[in-house]
Amino acid sequence: MSSKRRGEIRRLLQDEGTISIADLAQKLGVSLETIRRDVKPMTDAGAVTRVHGAIGLPQHLGEAPFELRMRENAGAKRLIAQWVARTIQNGESIMLDTGTTTSFLARELLQHRNLTVVTNSSDIARTLATVNGNKVFMAGGELRSDSGAAFGGSAIEFVNRFSVAHAVISVGALDASEGITDYDLAEAEFARTVLSRGARKTAITDATKFGRRGLVQVCDLGGFDELVTDQQPPDDIIQALHAAGTKVTVASRHS
């Protein structure tokens, strides 16, 4: 394997955290067989680790589940977050549920000033609470061990006291028939509440969540104003979103 391609693989892993063999082949413009041959000596040497048809950097594997998820598709999530951050003005109010893409958004908001932020995520609260004159209100309750977020009746009751300019949720799964769904009842209920408190209701997700369906519906495709993602959704989802009157924005580095 060429040292140039080895360097490209390492660079992609630093950016994405984990990446599937198929995506790696596509990004580097080579066959699956070539990528498998390239990756084998790297895994044999311990430079990368194979996980479920993907590869990752071994130093990431000891991290907490939320930190590991932050590294999945990190480049796409950062791109989405950068686009949304540009639509939020200094001094505005924003409500964010817990999620890796909303945590990326919190980091992109570090240059903003005098924000009012309402969240159930300790990561988002910690990121924005002590900078630039922000006011941060965090929903209370027991914090989950995997994400450091609060859920349940007390968290919902707390955020229901606020009305904000921007309500932003991260998406667990999205398909044409059921809309936004989640795999956890409490997370779905909290996300639904967040959307109800915003003048502008935005759902953000990378393209890996398209065509998936969770156990619990958050809302149908008319339950929010805009979907911001990194790739054009499949045709059935696009048509259903347009029929529901929901805007679709594909973020790009130049938008």
CB 194 within 8 A of CB 169: yes
Structure confidence at residue 59 (pLDDT): 57
> What span, in angstroms and rounded, lies between the C-alpha atoms of 22 and 19?
8
pLDDT for the residue 26:
86
Compute the CA torsion angle 63, 95, 89, 207 (nearest 10 deg).
Answer: 60
Tell me what pLDDT residue 60 has. Answer: 52
Contact 206, 101 (CB under 8 A): yes
**pTM of the full predicted structure?**
0.75
Q: Tell how strand 116-119 and strand 93-96 pair up.
A: parallel
- Secondary structure E strands in 27-170: 49-51, 54-56, 93-96, 116-119, 135-138, 164-170
Which residue type occupies 134?
N
pLDDT score for 64? 53
Per-residue pLDDT of the chain (255 residues; tens, 9 = 90+): 566 787 888 888 877 777 888 888 888 888 888 888 888 888 877 778 776 678 877 655 455 567 667 777 888 999 999 999 999 999 999 999 999 999 999 999 999 999 999 999 999 999 999 999 999 999 998 888 778 899 999 999 999 999 999 999 999 999 999 999 998 999 999 999 999 999 999 999 999 999 999 999 999 999 999 999 999 999 999 999 999 999 999 998 754
Cβ neighbours for 128, distance < 8 A, ≥ 6 positions apart? 106, 109, 110, 115, 117, 134, 136
Q: How far apart are CA 88 and CA 96, in angstroms?
A: 13
CB 97 within 8 A of CB 120: yes
